[in-house]
Amino acid sequence: MGTQKVMVLHAFVLSVLLFRGCGCAIQDGMLYPRDTETRETKDLSGVWNFRADKSRNRNAGFEEQWFKQSLFRSGGVIDMPVPSSYNDITQDKSLRDFVGWVWYDREFYPPYSWQNLKQRVVLRFQSAHYYTIVWLNGEEIMEHDGGHLPFEIEVTDNLVYGQSNRITAAVNNTLTPHTLPPGTIEYKTNTDKYPAGYFVQDLQMDFFNYAGIHRAVKLYTTPRVYIDDITVISDISASTGLVNYNIKVGGDVDGNDVICQVDLLDKDGKTVSSKKGLQDQLSVSKAHFWWPYTMSNDSAYLYTLKVSISSGGSSDLYRLPVGIRTVKTTNTQILINDKPFYCHGVAKHEDSDFRGKGVDLPLIAKDFNLLKWLGANCFRTSHYPYADEIMDMADRHGIVVIDECPGVGITHLENFSNKSLTHHLEVMEELVRRDKNRPSVIMWSVANEPASEFPQARHYFKSVISHTKQLDPTRPVTFVFNGGMDIERIFDEATEFCDVICLNSYYGWYSDTGHTEVIQLQLEYNLRQWFKKRNKPIIQTEYGAGSIAGIHLNPDMAFSEDYQVEVLQEHFKIFDKLRKEFLVGEMVWNFADFMTAQGTNRVVGNRKGVFTRQRQPKMAAYILREHYLSIINSTSQHSRQ
Nearer Cβ to ligand GCB (368/589): 589
Least distance to ligand GCB, CB of residue 504, Å: 4
Nearer Cβ to ligand GCB (403/542): 542
Nearer Cβ to ligand GCB (309/539): 539
- Please choose, from the candidates 169, 173, 165, the residue with its C-alpha nearest in 3D space to the C-alpha of residue 134: 169
Residues 258 to 317 in contact with ligand GCB, rule: CB under 6 A = none
Least distance to ligand GCB, CB of residue 623, Å: 19
Among 606, 620, 621, 624, binds ligand GCB (CB under 6 A): 606
Least distance to ligand GCB, CB of residue 406, Å: 12
- Please choose, from the candidates 587, 590, 593, 636, the residue with its C-alpha nearest in 3D space to the C-alpha of residue 614: 593
Nearer Cβ to ligand GCB (72/510): 510
Least distance to ligand GCB, CB of residue 329, Å: 23
Least distance to ligand GCB, CB of residue 375, Å: 23
SS3 149: coil
Among 143, 206, 228, 430, binds ligand GCB (CB under 6 A): 206
- Output DSSP code: residue 386: P
Torsion sign (Cα): 92, 94, 97, 100: negative
Nearer Cβ to ligand GCB (224/383): 383
Q: Which helix (H) or strand (E) holds 6?
A: helix 3-9
The answer to whether the beta carbons of residues 478 and 435 sit under 8 Å apart is: no
Least distance to ligand GCB, CB of residue 305, Å: 36
User: In angstroms, rounded to a whole number, what is the distance separating the alpha carbons of residues 4 and 1?
Assistant: 8
User: In angstroms, rounded to a whole number, what is the distance separating the alpha carbons of residues 136 and 140?
Assistant: 6
Q: Has 449 been annotated as catalytic?
A: yes
Nearer Cβ to ligand GCB (19/559): 559
Q: Is 542 in the site for ligand GCB (CB under 6 A)?
A: yes
Least distance to ligand GCB, CB of residue 506, Å: 7
The answer to whether the beta carbons of residues 566 and 516 sit under 8 Å apart is: yes
Residue ranges of alpha helices (H) inside 27-85 are 60-63
What is the DSSP secondary-structure string of 150-194? -EEEE-TTT--TTS-EEEEEEEE----TTSSS-EEEEE---TTTS
Q: Is 351 in the site for ligand GCB (CB under 6 A)?
A: no
SS3 575: helix
User: In angstroms, rounded to a whole number, what is the distance separating the alpha carbons of residues 126 and 42?
Assistant: 13
SS3 100: coil
Torsion sign (Cα): 552, 554, 560, 563: positive
Residues 413 to 432 in contact with ligand GCB, rule: CB under 6 A = none
- Please choose, from the candidates 169, 179, 178, 182, the residue with its C-alpha nearest in 3D space to the C-alpha of residue 214: 169
Residues 371 to 390 in contact with ligand GCB, rule: CB under 6 A = 383
Least distance to ligand GCB, CB of residue 442, Å: 20
Least distance to ligand GCB, CB of residue 509, Å: 8
Interaction mask 208-247, ligand GCB, x per CB under 6 A: ----------------------------------------
User: In angstroms, rounded to a whole number, what is the distance separating the alpha carbons of residues 157 and 533?
Assistant: 58
Instruction: Show the 3-state SS of 249-279.
Output: EECCCCHHHCEEEEEEECCCCCEEEEEECCE
Catalytic residue of the set 449, 493, 566, 586: 449
Nearer Cβ to ligand GCB (223/406): 406
Among 245, 318, 461, 589, binds ligand GCB (CB under 6 A): 589
Interaction mask 447-476, ligand GCB, x per CB under 6 A: -xx---------------------------
SS3 496: helix
Nearer Cβ to ligand GCB (218/383): 383
Q: How many residues form the binding site for ligand GCB (CB under 6 A)?
A: 9
Nearer Cβ to ligand GCB (597/632): 597
Q: Is 608 in the site for ligand GCB (CB under 6 A)?
A: yes
Distances 236 to 285, 287, 330, 471, 483 between C-alpha atoms, Å: 10, 9, 18, 21, 35
Residue nearest to ligand GCB (CB): 206
Query: Which positions are catalytic?
Result: 449
Q: Which residues bind to ligand GCB, rule: CB under 6 A?
A: 206, 383, 448-449, 504, 542, 589, 606, 608
